[in-house]
Structure 1
């Protein structure tokens, strides 16, 4: 794959299209290279750990000193290359405190999905059990010697000359974060808000709360930042405007899905999910995408039951 040259996004901010492995369904993830006033660069989401991906990122960085590596969430296509980049540059790896806590829960063991309760046919169970640990597979690399520090809501990143603020945005994973630079009118959204894709929810290990409830609250938290000139820099696809409208559309999608699930009283999760509309169609889902669809259906059922007082 030929990787495009770094693309200037704003003053001191460049996007790098980091190639993703074939078969993932997306051609690239976005890494962002941010200059500080001391001549260093700071990397947000260094991408996958493959040699091709890291070569693309290194070509974009060149000989610049890397001041920090910030991860929006722990999935491999965003965080997988952080360890290698840290080893090459000595830069600190930072992520949200809730994501760091999630790593601890993952290390303690991720419960297998309750396929009996979901009513999953026997012939589809092996692929779902095999896929259950895939979203959190990079967690094994993020042991204490790799993660150097945690970030908290409203914290300003230590990037001299810039004011990038941490916005906690749980939902996609429990400790997902966005980064907001009000003065520049920029919002780095990771996988929280993408221009056309509806991100999967609850893909960061066990949680104490319903990821859909968390996600809806996070959409509200991000939407209010858009006063008309905000530009979103997503983890996939291309930068876009209209963050408030996109957040409203995503919220409406999930609320509509909850209503659809609530109307299927007595059906199993498998039966409900198979009757819903999915991008690419239900029959095309397998492995991780199928597991994500079933988990989200179960989450919508939980939200619907709570709303009905069940």
Structure 2
């Protein structure tokens, strides 16, 4: 097999820039190959389920034995390539136990948001209903693959020669996880912490908790791991340092949004969202990005109501 060496980003860790389908907003996701003491690699987030993505990842792995496939969360640009990689290598697919529970709920069927109650104009509803199933599309495939059990908080992965611990970080999805390589001072952050992008929240199916509240608590967990030299290996963009500072900036962003929602006089989610400050502007939002904005507005409204005792 033709190989294409992954980019070294830390001792024993290589990055593969896995191409994403056109129109997804980002050019690539990051798959990470972690070497173990037995000569195998462990793949973190194999990427999108396209032939191009599969070819790039397989070329980077070559003939090296794959020990495990770890998924930070269930979205297609991170988990979509797991089926093909498992079929080729026989390696177990692993994810957080909360994400496995989410898969079960999604398999039953995700109830679309009540767009009428949100005050969404009728002519915008079809695009939002179509977008509602996009984040959880890989769920049916993953449900049949996860046969090796799931990962719990603080669990050490079976990677000989390394101490890689599971850190549950719900928010982006209900069962999102980060991986902390304690001795190498590395944090694989998935979509929990990206260097410049603010990840959407509550994009993993129905939850019993408020994703924004979960996310703020998860930011605290990640910030506590930063010794000052912690290096973040994100699911998109490039590796970076300054995890504690980035967590503080992300928390401030969401708290500002909560204050914006609290100050809005809008009666519906649509009316409130239309008055908020969005990076690309309200009028530029459409489809999935618009649905994400509305969901987050609804979540912020819930936090405001809870704070006011309503």
TM-score by length of 2: 0.97
2:198 is the counterpart of 1:198: yes
In 2, the alpha carbon distance for the partners of 1:256 and 1:5 equals: 43
CA distance in 2, matches of 1:119, 1:147: 42
Aligned to 2:88: 88
- Partners in 2 of 1:234 and 1:91 — Cα distance? 23
Aligned residues: 307
Query: Aligned pair 1:49/2:49, yes or no?
Result: yes
Deviations 1:64-123 (A, max 9, x none): 000000000000000000010000000000000000000011111111111111100011
Counterpart of 2:10 in structure 1 is: 10
The structural deviation recorded for 1:279 is 2.0
Shift of 1:266: 4.6
> Given that residues 83 and 146 in structure 1 are in contact (C-alpha distance below 8 angstroms), is that contact kept between their aligned partners in structure 2?
no
- What corresponds to 2:107 in structure 1? 107
Secondary structure at 1:118 match in 2: coil
Say which SS state the counterpart of residue 135 (structure 2) adopts.
helix
Following the alignment from structure 2 to structure 1, what is the Cα–Cα distance between the partners of residues 109 and 155? 30
User: Matches of residues 1-310 of structure 1 in structure 2 within 5 Å?
Assistant: 6-310=6-310
TM-score (norm 1): 0.97
After superposition, the Cα gap between the structure-2 partners of 1:147 and 1:286, relative to the gap in structure 1 and judged at 3 Å, is farther
SS at match of 1:14: strand
C-alpha separation between the residues in 2 aligned to 1:243 and 1:302? 28
Q: 2:100–2:143: 8 Å Cα contact kept in structure 1? A: no
Distance 1:28 1:159 in 2: 26
The runs of 5 or more residues in structure 1 that have no matched partner are none
- Measure the CA separation in 1 of the matches of 2:29 and 2:145: 25
Shift of 1:145: 3.9
Q: Distance in 2 between matches of 1:148 and 1:127?
A: 37
Q: CA deviation at 1:5?
A: 5.2
Q: Give the match's secondary structure for 2:116.
A: helix
- Asked if the contact 1:72/1:177 (under 8 Å) is kept, the reply is yes
Q: What is the CA RMSD across the aligned residues, in angstroms?
A: 1.0
Summarize deviations over 1:167-201 as a string: whole Å, max 9, x none: 00000000000000121110000000000000000
- Structure 2 CA distance for aligned equivalents of residues 12 and 293 of structure 1: 39
Q: Is the 8 A contact 1:156 1:165 kept in 2?
A: yes
